[in-house]
Amino acid sequence: MDSKLLQREGTSIDAMTNENSLSYDQMSGEEIYNQILLVEDNPGDAHLVELLLSESDLLNCKITHKTTLTEAMTCLEKNDDYAAILLDLSLPDSRGFITLEKLLAKYPNNNVIVLTGLADKNLGIKAVKTGAQDFLIKGNFDSDTLAKSLRYSIERNKVLQRLEDTQRLAHIGNWEYKLESNQFTASDEIYRIFNLKERVANFSVENFEEIDHPFQIFKAIHKETLVAKKISKDIEIKQLGGALRFVSIQCSVNRSEDNETIFSGIIQDITDRKKSEQELLKSQERYLDIFTKSKDAIFICTLDGKFIDYNRATLDLFGYSNEELKEKDAKALFEVNAKNDFLEKLEERKAVTDFEIEIEQKSGASRYCLINANLTESEGQLIYNAIVRDITEQKQTEALRKARDLARQSAQMKEQFIASISHEMRTPMNAILGMSNLVIQTNLNKEQRDYISSIKQSSEILLGIINDILEISTIQTGKIKFENKDFDLDQLLKNLMNVMKYKVKEKSLKFELIKDDKVPKYIKGDKLRLNQILYNLVGNAIKFTDKGHVKIYVENLSESTGSVMIKFTVEDSGI
């Protein structure tokens, strides 16, 4: 045996306890006390209760002693977690049955044991009928009787606590309303559901009619229940603070032994469930919207080819009416080899992504499609959901693109080859022309001069052809580039005159360069392109002029800071 303390308002009373019966908080390891509130103004009676309790086998009790109802109510406002309240009905500030009514009205869920005198036995019985748990007659109970009554309160309190915990987890609260006496009691979860921090007690009809009070909804519930006797429905309530919650309500009305109308009901907060249902409904609506408006064919089908559901795009893809497609075997609509491969992969992997397949329309036309599908089970049967996209146009476009790219690649290779050969051919041709010009200026007899002239003339013609081929090839390959470098325009024109004078001399033509004095000697541009253009123009002029003249005019059209516009004109007298 071990000596423990029975505490009383800062003082202590020895009590014998069995250490094997002690209760401890599993989280903190601290000893748990059963708190008991003793409301008794008579010191002798209070001491007797404490003494009897210390002699009983009831363990771990902590007594808080108050001498007035006001003190007791103040104590309960700070902490109403008492296993039992021992209440004397004859107190300095409250006497008789009203003492119990005041306490129960404010704290209806507490276990109250009334202490009465021998002459007030009937008052104790009435107290039990009103809501007290038990009554004890002063001077007429021993430690065992006191322990038995308190033990029942303690166990009842534990059961109620477990019930409160269960209600909190399930978001279910219960209430009771006595119509004639306007007494309203409710579990803690009711207050949590309505977002009320403190208990609201002693309700009357007037309280229910307060528009801004969350419990105002009970007036309508009780009115409906009074007619229907029993109701069960889901409604929306407004919490303290204005937030809306969905709750499921069940309420019934009965008559007590005292012929009082009593409403009993439960409320379950189903907001999360409602939100889930609403989200599910929205999801279903979104799916239906996609299913209906999708341009891709969407259908559900069994593995043996029976259509379960499909959208309008499925009918459009296959070309059948609704009645016709219902009777169709889906497997017969796909190309055999691809269909078998698709079904094998679907059964093996449970899902197939971007599988290319060919389908046959009612008209007999074939369409290329991409199919995405997943395998699932419904009512014991394997089915698959499929989305089919017609890619026939894309396939045709892709084929055209590949053909175009191949043709372009072939053309580029041809042009690159021609350009390369043309460059290689022009180098020796320029050498032949240069050497011919040198040889023709030496002392040659007539026969030799004729041979050299033929070589020179043929070379010039061939070089012109090579230049034309090279120019076309360069433009087609998109590789034509213009240089922007300084060069001597006078020297370019002089070289042009020197090269062309032999052709002019052969035809006895007058060949003349007329250059504006305002044309600068040095300019910036593409010397090669300008030289080539002038060679072609002068060459053509000489070629198509049998007699007369060929003249080159160079004029300065305009000049500004850093730039000049020059006009080149090749004039001939014609055939």
Q: Which residues of 264-281 are buried (b: 16+ CB within 10 A; e: fewer)?
A: ebbbbbbbeebeeeeeee
Residue 389's H or E segment, with its range, is: strand 381-390
Task: State whether 182 and 129 are in the same domain.
Answer: no
Sheet holding 61-66, edge to edge: 11-17, 2-8, 61-66, 34-39, 84-88, 112-116, 134-137
Domain residues for the domain of 444 are 391-480
Distance CA 552, CA 404 (A): 45
Whole-Å CA distances, 266 to 86, 106, 185, 204, 224: 30, 21, 12, 19, 15
Q: What is the pLDDT of residue 13?
A: 38
Angle, alpha carbons 267-268-270 (nearest 5°): 140
Q: What is the pLDDT of residue 473?
A: 62
Q: What is the pLDDT of residue 550?
A: 94
Q: What is the pLDDT of residue 3?
A: 32
Residues 353-378 pLDDT 10s: 999 888 888 998 888 999 999 998 88
Residue 231's H or E segment, with its range, is: strand 230-238
Give me the CATH number covering residue 15.
3.40.50.2300
Domain termination residue (choose one: 343, 370, 389): 389
Task: State whether 73 and 110 are in the same domain.
Answer: yes
Task: State whether 221 and 154 are in the same domain.
Answer: no
User: Does 79 map to a domain?
Assistant: yes
Q: What is the pLDDT of residue 478?
A: 61
Sheet holding 183-186, edge to edge: 183-186, 172-178, 261-269, 244-255, 230-238
Q: What is the pLDDT of residue 222?
A: 92
Q: What is the pLDDT of residue 202?
A: 47
Task: State whether 474 and 488 are in the same domain.
Answer: no
Q: What's CA 340's distance to the chain center, in Å?
A: 37
Task: State whether 191 and 306 are in the same domain.
Answer: no
Distance CA 97, CA 116 (A): 11
CA-based end-to-end distance of the chain: 146
Amino acid, single-letter form, for residue 302: T
Task: State whether 471 and 402 are in the same domain.
Answer: yes
Give me the CATH number covering residue 473.
1.10.287.130
Domain termination residue (choose one: 463, 480, 497): 480
Asked if 72 and 80 count as a contact pair (C-beta separation under 8 A), the reply is no
HSE on the CB side for 228, CA within 13 Å? 13
Asked if 270 and 234 count as a contact pair (C-beta separation under 8 A), the reply is yes
User: Does 289 map to a domain?
Assistant: no
User: Does 281 map to a domain?
Assistant: no
Q: What is the pLDDT of residue 27?
A: 44
CA-based Rg of the chain, rounded to a whole angstrom? 56
For the chain, the domain total comes to 5
Q: What is the pLDDT of residue 268?
A: 92
HSE on the CB side for 201, CA within 13 Å? 15
Three-state DSSP class for 518? coil
What stretches in the chain show pLDDT beneath 70? 1-32, 59, 119, 197-211, 419, 422-423, 457-458, 461, 464-465, 468, 470-481, 575
Task: State whether 18 and 90 are in the same domain.
Answer: yes
Among the listed residues 68, 71, 67, 52, the one whose alpha carbon sits nearest the alpha carbon of residue 6: 52
User: Does 246 map to a domain?
Assistant: yes
Task: State whether 327 and 411 are in the same domain.
Answer: no
Task: State whether 56 and 138 are in the same domain.
Answer: yes
Give me the CATH number covering residue 192.
3.30.450.20
Q: What is the pLDDT of residue 471?
A: 67
What's the token pair of residue 409? 């690649």
Residue with tokens 């370019």: 492
User: Does 322 map to a domain?
Assistant: yes
What's the token pair of residue 120? 């007030």
Sheet holding 563-572, edge to edge: 510-515, 549-560, 563-572
User: Does 282 map to a domain?
Assistant: no
